[in-house]
Chains A and B, each alone.
Chain A
Amino acid sequence: MSNVKITKVAKAGTLESNDILIMVKPNEFGKTELELESIVMQQFGEVIEQVILHKVQEMGIEGISIKAQDKGALDYTIAARVETAISRAI
């Protein structure tokens, strides 16, 4: 998959523990921008960012702004929620 565009705002996930709320929207400059808040930012912030950006790349997305509010989600949940939000936004 390549050059898939985000066309609207979409969300996936929740703010419950072990979950992550992902909101995606089009980025008008064609960039990938990520704003992350996490209850484990200090310990796992970098890993969470990597998981999110890897999924964005895997899905061939360009021009996306992501806001992620993490409540202790494991990698599989992060990947699933990003995929769902993107699927809902394209």
Chain B
Amino acid sequence: MEKLRRTMLFMPGNNPGMLQDAAILGADSIILDLEDAVSLTEKDSARILVREAIKTIDYSQVEVVVRVNPLDTEFGQPDVDMIARVKPDTLLIPKANEEEIKLVDKLLDKIEKEEGYPLGCIKIIALIETALGLENVYNVIQASSRTVGVLLGGEDLTADLGIERTKEGEEIFYARNKVATVCRALKVDAIDTPFTDTNDYEGLEKDTAKAKGLGLTGKSAINPRQIETIHFVFAPTEDELKRALRILDAMEEAEKEGKGCCSLDGKMIDAPVINRAACTVDQGIRLGLISGEGGAR
């Protein structure tokens, strides 16, 4: 079963203490950051430190994602070349466009071959944070079969659009919709932009609920204190799980009786309702809220 990406926690790549603690903070994925969190004079240092951390620290309980520098800078390709050789789970590619994803895919093919890793074992998440990347997100994802998700970068996107970034986030409504829809269509994860006020938990909960309501499947975090709130929002409630299980039971009964459709509590159960119920149950199983047989724990 695939691992969930409800939370992706950014950790600065040049901070040994944070790299050591990253695995135990409760996030589904950790993003070891070589880009914005590292000053230009320390790029070489962070790259080596992150490589050594991946080689040494037990990150087996989390997905290890490394955000490399943009491929059009002098740091991007050396980042990919050094980090891919210690086999992180995933690379996060900033300011992603089609060409960059294709280039990373090609570099990874070469490195995996040289290192004797299974071809395609290192995945890619595209960081969509430009207007061009957003409008082209379908092709960006399609540019490599390694792509398992998209992370929406709200701060850089609004800067590129020349608009103000607000706490309410109305300015990224379209971007969230677009990313969520395309990701759903291509069956990859859609990860929301971080909520930058790390002391506003109420705001974080609202912002996360808004993203979930639009179809995003996870959210990035910039502080470990944000993880619990995000997980709370993304977990199905007990009532949602019970109803989903009842829907699937009702459908099973109907199938046994040779009926094409059925109803529950006076409401018609059709394919979209069943699909949604199946997704909820699947998430419940993955979160350990219900057992694999469908029974509540």
Contacts and interface: CB of A to CB of B under 8 A. Distances in A.
Name the prevailing secondary structure of the B interface residues: helix
B20 A74 contact: yes
A50 interface: no
A31 B127 CA distance: 48
B55 interface: yes
Contact of B17 (A18, A87, A88): A18
Contacts of A17: 17
Contacts of A88: 44
Contacts of B51: 80
B49 A77 contact: yes
Given A16-B17, A18-B17, A19-B16, A76 B55 contact: yes
B290 to A, nearest CB: 39
A72 to B, nearest CB: 9
B57 A76 contact: yes
B16 A79 contact: no
A13 interface: yes
Contact of A19 (B17, B44, B48): B17
A83 interface: yes
Contacts of B16: 18-19, 73-74, 76-77
B56 A84 contact: no
Interface in A61-88: 73-77, 79-81, 83-84, 87-88
A84 B48 CA distance: 7
A52 interface: no
B136 interface: no
Contacts of B55: 76
Interface residues of B, number: 14
Interface residues of A, number: 18
B53 interface: yes
A77 B14 CA distance: 10
Interface string B28-53: 00000000000000001100110111
A80 B20 contact: no
Contacts of B15: 16
Q: Tell which of A13, A76, A77, A79 has the most Cβ of chain B within 10 Å.
A: A76
A12 interface: yes
A88 B43 CA distance: 12
Interface in B65-96: none
A81 B17 contact: no
Contacts of B20: 18, 74
Select the residue from B44, B51, B52 with max chain A CB neighbours within 10 A: B52
B53 A76 contact: yes
Nearest to A87: B44
Contacts of A12: 45
A87 B52 CA distance: 15
B136 to A, nearest CB: 37
Interface in A30-80: 73-77, 79-80
Interface string B1-31: 0000000000000011100100000000000
A73 B52 CA distance: 13
22 contacts: A16-B15, A17-B17, A18-B16, A18-B17, A19-B16, A74-B16, A74-B20, A74-B56, A76-B49, A76-B52, A76-B53, A77-B16, A77-B49, A79-B52, A80-B45, A80-B52, A81-B45, A84-B45, A84-B48, A84-B49, A87-B44, A88-B44
Given A77-B49, A84-B49, A87-B48, 6 more contacts: A18-B20, A19-B17, A74-B20, A80-B48, A83-B48, A87-B44
**Which 4 residue pairs are nearest across A and B when measured between Cβ atoms?**
A18-B17, A76-B56, A76-B52, A77-B16
